[in-house]
């Protein structure tokens, strides 16, 4: 996952893009970039680190123009640390294109070979985003007939991108002198939402972003989610056109967005993230009640931040007191999306502290939204015990993460997943917990999908091993494991 935003405004757009990226910071902390276009001139700034530390006033001043886009990165392919792998990416032809991408392509080997052998394109990084941009550029180039580009040629190019590219991609691009293009893969795995507001001069102003909270905060009305396979073109004057560009499509958004990634105050594909987390807690409570008969629990505690809504519901449904015993240092970012296990491990201790008075002599039911590598839970259980807990019961508001996630979340190797190849009893032992309960896959689907019929299926390969997009098989997973950079 990454956070992306694109804006077409009637006035300079730099500050708005910056503000939007701050709101999307929870989606990526590795690096960030902003690009704007002023007439047919691009301006771009990118740097490692988080939004607040990455941009100087002089950077902001050079980002001229009323059309712009931005990115916060959580690397899945290529190095997290190298600035040249940070997004956006730029190509000079045709016209000049700058692109940002959230997702992960799975046929990168084929694309790399094709782009070199057939299309004669140079690639400068290991980033899959650079591949996506070059395929788009190539397909645009192939479809141009006159000097001027028109919307249909752009949509035809996106249709050919869908045919060549596999995996997940929510993308926003600027084409110099032409406008802003946004498109989403045929399964709509990663989110992308469209908003509009009226400028004082009457012009329509547009935003496309990973999460709806960006729209609300900027005073935009939510128009709709970009559909899977759809492309949207917005001209600098505010006119908008869209077309379905995928021959076959089906909305299958990523379950992990609802469980952990997205901010609770966002609505993705019509499902409120907060409500989904409450329902995950409701169903988890039912499953705990079935599995933990006769086990004493005195208090329910969340692991801040993402587990709070689910933990609240667990406490309420089970009729057990809800207490906060772990306190978070707000100046430490999200641990899970940090690159490198050593940094993640150190950060859990820096980030969370257990208050002994809340633990001493108690049977504590700790709820987290998910257990992936076990980095957080292992430390937490130890902290709870040191703080005097009588027993520690651990519950995850998501099923066991058994398989790698290859669609935009950086958990590519099976060996790093604590649930891979282990039974719940073995995992509990590994974590040092007295009992461990995971939400079931069926329970997760019921919780997230309840109360609506727009989304009927979730991308949940990391729980089930069933990969919907691309040819993700044993050979592919082994290749990813062997070549992953951190
Ligand atoms: O099993 P692990 O590999 O530790 O991963 C899972 C943990 O990581 C995330 O927290 P994170 O600190 O990233 O963010 P949060 O403050 O939003 O909960 C998630 O909420 C879990 O607590
Ligand atoms: N998490 C993402 O969406 C990452 C985007 C892209 N694959 C990168 O690594 O930069
Ligand atoms: Mg957490």
Cα of 369 vs centre of ligand 3, distance in Å, is 7
User: Which atom number of ligand 1 is nearest to the Cα of residue 334?
Assistant: 13
329 part of a folded domain: yes
265 belongs to a structural domain? no
Q: Is residue 369 part of a domain?
A: yes
Residues 216 and 88 in one domain: yes
Pair 240, 297 in one domain: no
- Determine the pLDDT at residue 340: 81
Same domain as 279, residue 396: yes
Active-site choice (2, 245, 254, 462): 2
Q: Please check if 369 is assigned to a binding site.
A: yes
Q: What is the pLDDT of residue 391?
A: 97
Check whether residue 298 and residue 428 sit in a common domain.
Answer: yes
Domain match, 437 and 288 both: yes
236 plus 278 within the same structural domain: no
Residue 462 is among the residues annotated as catalytic for this protein: no
Ligand 2, pocket residues at CB < 6 Å: 1-2, 73-78, 87, 101-104, 127-129, 408
Report yes or no on 256 lying in a domain. Answer: no
| 9 and 125 share one domain | yes
- 56 CA from centroid of ligand 1 (Å): 30
Using CA positions, which residue lies closest to atom 2 of ligand 2? 1
Answer yes or no: do 238 and 350 share one domain.
Answer: no
Specify whether 195 is located in the same domain as 324.
Answer: no
What secondary structure, in 3-state letters, does the chain show? CCEEEEEECCCCCHHHHHHHHHHCHHHCCCEEEEEEEECCEEEEEEEECCHHHHCCHHHHHHCCCCEEEEEEECCCCCCCCCHHHCCCEEECCCCCEEEEEEEEECCHHHHHHHHHHCCCCCCCCCCHHHHHHHHHHHHHHHHCCCCCCCHHHHHHHHHHHHHHCCEEEEEEEEECCCEEEEEECCCCCCCCEEEEEECCCCCEEEEEECCHHHHHHCCCEEEEECCCCEEEEECCCCCEEEEECCCCCCCCCEHHHHHHHCCCCCEECCEEHHHHHHHHHHHHHHHHHHHCCCCCCCEEEECCCCCHHHHHHHHHHHCCEECCCEEECCCCCCCCCCCCHHHHHHHHHHHEEECHHHCCCCEEEEEECCCCCCHHHHHHHHHHHHCCCCEEEEEECCCCCCCCECCCCCECCHHHCCCCCCCHHHHHHHHCCCEEEECCHHHHHHHHHCCCCCCCCCECHHHHCCCCCCCCCHHHHHHHHHHCCC
93, part of any domain: yes
Task: Find the CATH number of the domain harbouring 474.
Answer: 3.40.50.2020
Is 368 annotated as belonging to a binding site? yes
Supply the CATH number for residue 71's domain.
Answer: 3.60.20.10
- Ligand 1 in reach of 336 Cβ (< 6 A): yes
| Residue 451: per-residue pLDDT | 95
**Number of independent structural domains in the chain:** 2
Q: Give the pLDDT confidence score for residue 486 in this predicted structure.
A: 58
396 lines ligand 1 (CB under 6 A): no
pLDDT in tens, the chain (486 residues): 799 999 999 999 999 999 999 999 999 999 999 999 998 899 999 999 999 999 999 999 999 999 999 999 998 887 777 888 899 999 999 999 999 999 999 999 999 999 899 888 888 899 999 999 999 999 999 988 888 889 999 999 999 999 999 999 999 999 999 999 999 999 999 999 999 999 999 999 999 999 999 999 999 999 999 999 999 999 999 999 999 999 999 999 999 999 999 999 999 999 999 999 999 999 999 999 999 898 999 999 999 999 999 999 999 999 999 999 999 888 888 888 888 887 787 778 888 889 999 999 999 999 999 999 998 899 999 999 999 999 999 999 999 999 999 999 888 789 899 999 999 899 999 999 999 999 999 999 999 999 999 999 999 999 999 999 999 999 999 999 888 765
Say how many Å lie between the CA of residue 408 and the centre of ligand 2: 6
pLDDT score of 345: 77
What domain range is 286 assigned to? 273-483
Ligand 1 centroid to Cα of residue 166, in Å, is 28
Mutational pocket test of ligand 1: of 26, 260, 265, 330, the residue with most ligand atoms within 8 Å of the beta carbon? 260
Residue 29: CB within 6 Å of ligand 1?
A: no
Query: Which ligand is in closest contact with the Cα of 379?
Result: 1
Domain final residue pick, 221, 251, 281: 251
pTM for this predicted structure: 0.96
With a 6 Å cutoff on the Cβ, whether 370 touches ligand 1 is: yes
């Amino acid at each position: 996952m990454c956070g992306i935003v694109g804006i077409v405004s009637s006035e300079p757009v730099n500050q708005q893009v910056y503000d939007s990226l701050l709101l999307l910071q929870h989606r990526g902390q590795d690096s960030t970039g902003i690009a704007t276009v002023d007439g047919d001139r691009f301006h771009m700034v990118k740097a490692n680190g988080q939004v607040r530390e990455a941009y100087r006033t002089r950077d902001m001043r050079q980002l001229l123009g009323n059309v712009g886009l931005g990115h916060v990165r959580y690397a899945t392919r290529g190095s997290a640390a190298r600035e040249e792998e940070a997004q956006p990416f730029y190509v000079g032809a045709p016209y000049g294109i700058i692109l940002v991408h959230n997702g992960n392509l799975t046929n990168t080997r084929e694309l790399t070979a094709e782009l070199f052998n057939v299309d004669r394109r140079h690639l400068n990084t290991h980033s899959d985003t650079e591949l996506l941009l070059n395929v788009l550029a190539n397909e645009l180039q192939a479809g141009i007939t006159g000097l001027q580009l028109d919307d249909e040629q752009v949509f035809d190019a996106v249709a050919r991108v869908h045919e060549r590219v596999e995996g997940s991609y929510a993308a926003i691009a600027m084409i110099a002198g032409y406008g802003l293009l946004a498109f989403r893969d045929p399964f709509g795995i990663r989110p992308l939402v469209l908003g509009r507001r009226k400028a004082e001069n009457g012009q329509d102003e547009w935003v496309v972003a990973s999460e709806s909270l960006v729209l609300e905060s900027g005073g935009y009305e939510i128009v709709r989610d970009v559909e899977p396979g759809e492309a949207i073109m917005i001209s600098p004057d505010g006119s908008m056109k869209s077309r379905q560009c995928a021959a076959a499509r089906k909305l299958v958004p990523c379950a992990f967005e609802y469980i952990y990634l997205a901010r609770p105050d966002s609505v993705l594909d019509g499902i409120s993230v907060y409500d989904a987390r409450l329902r995950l807690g409701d169903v988890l409570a039912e499953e705990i009640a079935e599995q933990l008969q006769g086990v004493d629990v005195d208090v329910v505690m969340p692991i801040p931040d993402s587990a709070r809504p689910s933990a609240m519901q667990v406490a309420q449904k089970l009729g057990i007191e809800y207490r906060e015993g772990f306190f978070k240092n707000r100046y430490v970012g999200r641990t899970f999306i940090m690159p490198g296990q050593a940094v993640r491990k150190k950060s859990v201790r820096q980030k969370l502290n257990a208050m002994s008075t809340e633990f001493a002599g108690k049977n504590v039911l700790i709820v987290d939204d998910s257990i992936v590598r076990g980095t957080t839970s292992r430390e937490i259980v130890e902290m709870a015990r040191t703080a005097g807990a009588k027993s520690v019961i651990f519950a995850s508001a998501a099923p066991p993460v058994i398989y790698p996630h290859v669609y935009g979340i950086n958990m590519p190797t099976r060996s790093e997943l604590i649930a891979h190849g282990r039974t719940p009893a073995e995992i509990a032992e590994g974590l040092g917990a007295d009992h461990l309960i995971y939400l079931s896959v069926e329970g997760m689907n019921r919780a997230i999908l309840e109360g609506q019929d727009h989304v009927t299926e979730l991308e949940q390969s990391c729980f089930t091993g069933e990969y919907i997009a691309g040819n993700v098989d044993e050979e592919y997973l082994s290749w990813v494991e062997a070549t992953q950079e951190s």
